[in-house]
Amino acid sequence: MPGQTFEIAARLSLPDADIRYAPVFDMGARAEELLRALIDETPWRQDPIILWGKSMLQPRLIAWYGDPGCVYRYSGLSLVPLPWTERLAALKSHVECTVGYRFNSVLVNYYRDHKDSMGFHSDDEKELGPQPVIASVSLGAERVFVLKSRRDTEARPFRLKLASGSLLLMQGNTQANYKHGIPRQSSVLGPRINLTFRRILV
């Protein structure tokens, strides 16, 4: 089973979901050094996306890396992967060894400050398969990760602060039953990078 070796993580107490969180894991480099290197080296892009029938700029910067052919489509975007850098390939290897699952792509999100955000969504695109396994690495400023049930509209949102150097694993029916997002914050915060490792079905 994917993630069965992820023994250092605590499973979140959410019904109909399989989400595990480790505030610290071995990623082969210091979080602050990796954050600064990725900010400086990554060819960031900010594309318009289609939400509720309207075009708007994504409220953060992104980059998409992966194996050849791992095209990812969401919200009107079609992302062709950049080739793996040595730094990202090494981080991918550490994540794979930790969670016991192989990935072939990563979406890198750059939150420049507290005003950048990610709207509520589910990673349920067809190229991710029926039960996607997504490993999320956080670097830099702590941001609040919010999960909302797609089935129970009366359920209270679940909030979790994602520490720098942490690893969150979502698998099973999580995407089918929950939406997640990173809201804007009123308090001033520094930069944050989030890397979500995925497997595209080519």
Number of compact structural domains in the chain = 1
| Residue 146: HSE in the Cβ half-sphere, 13 Å Cα cutoff | 15
| Residue 71: HSE in the Cβ half-sphere, 13 Å Cα cutoff | 6
Quickly count: other Cβ atoms within 10 Å of residue 199's Cβ.
Answer: 21
CA distance 108 to 66: 11
- Torsions phi, psi for 154 (to 5 deg): -90, -15
What lies within 8 Å, CB to CB, of 84 at 6+ separation is 65, 66, 67, 92
The residue count of the chain comes to 202
Can you give the residue range of the structural domain that contains 15? 10-198
**19 three-state secondary structure:** strand
pLDDT in tens, the chain (202 residues): 455 567 667 899 999 999 999 999 999 999 999 999 999 999 999 988 776 677 778 899 999 999 999 999 877 788 999 999 999 999 999 999 999 999 999 999 999 999 999 999 999 999 999 999 999 999 999 999 999 999 998 999 999 999 999 999 999 999 999 999 999 999 999 999 999 999 999 8
- Is 67 within the bounds of a domain? yes
**169 three-state secondary structure:** strand
- Residue 106, domain CATH: 2.60.120.590
**172 three-state secondary structure:** coil
CA-CA-CA-CA dihedral for 25, 26, 29, 32, to nearest 10: 10
- Is 57 within the bounds of a domain? yes
- Is 1 within the bounds of a domain? no
pTM of the complete model beyond 0.85: yes
- Is 3 within the bounds of a domain? no
- Is 5 within the bounds of a domain? no
- Is 152 within the bounds of a domain? yes
Contact 116, 60 (CB under 8 A): yes
